[in-house]
Structure 1
């Protein structure tokens, strides 16, 4: 039955096509000429098809480009090598057909570097630029193109220094712009879609890749080369996006985000990450202290633990006024305060759900704002 139905529909479609083409009628008389279709009526005299008009009320999105793989171009001498930060912001926009139908776009080149070279100076420039754009009401959302290696760190930093409830969306790619099946254009389209919807407001800074929306405090890179590398291991993604719609898994949080003023100058206070491993001694801790670290983040084993010589060195540093935060190298889960180690006795702070890289950034922001009491630092980690 289904096959017959399909055939009948196909037959009707074929007959309709013949009639529109002006075939002879059953009576043998010529069929009247078909009236011109609306599409044909809009053909310009030069033979080119006119584009549909762009709606006047499109949301305004500013794209800030920083470089990264999404702006990279392949190296002709290598099957996998490429040079990051070669394409401009306008190049990225031009590579996405129809992007200007989603939003009114403004492109600004902030930097053009690989994200392994991301630094405090670019962070401050981005934060200042975004806050000014929102203060002047020049955009309804901002998209930042960025390399994937440190995208989660920049997202976390911006989430804590951009005061507006308008969305900031970071986007990158795992393949350079000249690669086969480059993922950058689709990711950029998705990022603009997310930044353009009213439901994105109040969600802080987000990261969008591979049709998935992540919150800045949870997102992390989990694979060296896969396009599915980004995950939110503790709470999961906050939404998904496709060509037709943006879908968030829940409402925006009602409590205000923990934010700080944009630091006035770079570099930010020195905070080092000490990576724990078997057979470890206190060398890393002593080296950090010798280079003037004001804070140390432990990427501990398990629940933020480490070898006894390291614990002793960290506790000694904490008692001298150096802020010490226990995080974990595991990749997911929360470091529980006063569990495997007694933070109250050691003078240390638990990172809770923040990974070492994000713990470092929060500690830098606390230090630059004069928040050095361990109890207050712990409260800020709880509020982040």
Structure 2
């Protein structure tokens, strides 16, 4: 598989019986100044000052723009294997930030256990004097050991903010506080080196891990969009597509017939929004019932694509796919004084 290296293994021995396994995949947290991930997981642990028992596995060394669905499958399989071990209390995954939210959501939809799965990255490379990677990794290991993180689905932690995979998204290109959850808010925090996590969210649908994932394009709406921009649909005929519409998932009149035709020919069309927050409601802006479209709810285009890939791989029709999207919308609230749902 391209960009996937052989498994490596190392252990940092200490006195805490709560074993955390760190699966390293690359990303900025593993960069030493070049635009490639070169720092191994053992070094990352040393830089983080880890002083408790941790087992680590260098699964791959990939910068996050180069993460592909094939990598998700490898990672999900390894997460399931590691989390099933009775001696493991939780799993931490180091990952590049650019596509971290997509990997996190894919794992959330395919992981069936209750042990904490925490994904962590960094906005500053390891050689930087302002590197945020060491602290983020320490926080991730703390969170993976915490009983409060059990049965919470896949979580992310960056800049001491704990967020749920279903809603977390990268909202800034360079700031260390780059991640936000615009629809449900943070679900926890690391305060005084102690993790705090809100009550469990409603369960997401779960999918069996497929052997392969189908190609699903994302089409981005913009002013003046013309049908010619979608000419590839006639020849490619993808099994599904996500339309990142304006506002509440609007599709311009000029290209609506092209999208309608794709749906009629068997492509599952999901309407999402390019705005980055808020929900795309069914039959608002567009008559989904008449056109056979799916409304993405609160899922942004890149996460809608992840869910649609799994729905198509599972053989779901449009109706069943809409049910899956409806189950992925929800709300919660977390504050420093308490957590509520």
Say whether the fold is shared (TM-score over 0.5): yes
Output aligned runs, 1:87-166, within 5 Å: 87-97=39-49, 99-101=50-52, 104-166=53-115
In the alignment, is residue 66 of structure 1 matched against residue 30 of structure 2?
no
Deviation by residue 1:282-322 (Cα, 9 ceiling, x = unmatched): 23433144224111100000000021122211111111111
SS at match of 2:259: helix
Q: Using a 3 Å threshold, how does the CA distance of structure 1 residues 216 and 289 change in structure 2: closer, same or farther?
A: farther
Aligned equivalent of 1:361: 306
Of the candidates 209, 225, 234, which is equivalent to residue 262 of structure 1?
209
Of the candidates 222, 231, 234, which is equivalent to residue 277 of structure 1?
222
More RCO (CA 8 Å, sep 6+): 2
Q: Given that residues 149 and 221 in structure 1 are in contact (C-alpha distance below 8 angstroms), is that contact kept between their aligned partners in structure 2?
A: yes
CA–CA separation in structure 2 for the residues paired with 1:380 and 1:133: 27
CA–CA separation in structure 2 for the residues paired with 1:182 and 1:318: 47
Shift of 1:145: 0.3
| TM-score, length-scaled by structure 2 | 0.90
Q: Given that residues 298 and 325 in structure 1 are in contact (C-alpha distance below 8 angstroms), is that contact kept between their aligned partners in structure 2?
A: yes
Aligned equivalent of 1:377: 321
Q: Given that residues 96 and 189 in structure 1 are in contact (C-alpha distance below 8 angstroms), is that contact kept between their aligned partners in structure 2?
A: yes
| TM-score, length-scaled by structure 1 | 0.80
SS at match of 1:361: helix
CA–CA separation in structure 2 for the residues paired with 1:270 and 1:159: 20
Greater gyration radius: 1
CA–CA separation in structure 1 for the residues paired with 2:87 and 2:257: 52
CA–CA separation in structure 2 for the residues paired with 1:172 and 1:56: 24
Output aligned runs, 1:156-235, within 5 Å: 156-235=105-184
Shift of 1:138: 4.2
Can you give the 5+ residue segments of structure 2 that lack an aligned partner in the other structure?
1-12, 329-341
Q: Given that residues 251 and 286 in structure 2 are in contact (C-alpha distance below 8 angstroms), is that contact kept between their aligned partners in structure 1?
A: no
Output aligned runs, 1:11-22, within 5 Å: none
CA–CA separation in structure 1 for the residues paired with 2:203 and 2:306: 19
Aligned equivalent of 2:254: 309
| Structure 1 residue runs of 4 or more that deviate by more than 6 Å after TM superposition | none
